[in-house]
Amino acid sequence: MTTVNILGTEYKVIREPFKDKDIDGYCDYTSREIRIRDDNVNEVGDFDELMRKQLRHEIIHVHPDKKLKEAIDNRVTALQEKQQAEAEQEKIKVQKETEKIQAETDAQIQITKAQAEAESNKIISASITDELIRMKEAEARNKFGWVTVQGADAVVTDGI
């Protein structure tokens, strides 16, 4: 005789001959016993394999007592909580990945803007010549008058 633990409840597994050739096993949940045929009365090929399958079949028929039902309920609750936690972790992971992609995109936009501004400044810098500077100086003097500087702190304005 062996025992099998089914969600925290011990069941005796008893192998014995049966009078009825059509019965290979049964489960008595009141006495916590699973009875399995031990004689190959029907002369099946792999009798041991058939009896392993019969034992699995009988385990399915175990009716849960209060303790077993509690164990099943606790397992189901734990599994649901685990699945919920995993789903929440996956959601957070996706949110963080989205934030990372957005930050990388924003950074790339800033880099592109800075490169465009640098290129623009380069073009403007290349277009400034001495003639352009003298022309802008002449336009300013024409618009605001002639400014000359004498000494460190004195400003004299001519022609206003």
Per the CB < 8 A criterion, the answer to whether 4 and 13 are in contact is yes
Q: Residue 72: helix, strand or coil by DSSP?
A: helix
Higher local confidence (pLDDT), 17 or 40: 17
The three-class DSSP label of residue 154 is strand
Q: Cα separation of 40 and 34, whole Å?
A: 18
Tens-place pLDDT, residues 108-123: 999 999 999 999 999 9
Can you give the pLDDT at residue 137? 85
pTM: 0.38
**Neighbouring residues of 86: CB distance < 8 A, sequence distance ≥ 6:** none
Q: Is the pLDDT of residue 129 over 90?
A: no
pLDDT of 148 > 70? The answer is: no
pLDDT digits (tens, 9 = 90+) for 50-74: 777 887 788 777 766 677 778 878 9
3-state secondary structure of 12: strand
Residues 66-72: contacts with CB under 8 Å, at least 24 apart: 67/8, 67/9, 68/6, 68/7, 68/8, 68/9, 71/7, 71/8, 71/9, 72/7
Ranges of H-type helices in 3-147: 47-60, 66-127, 130-144
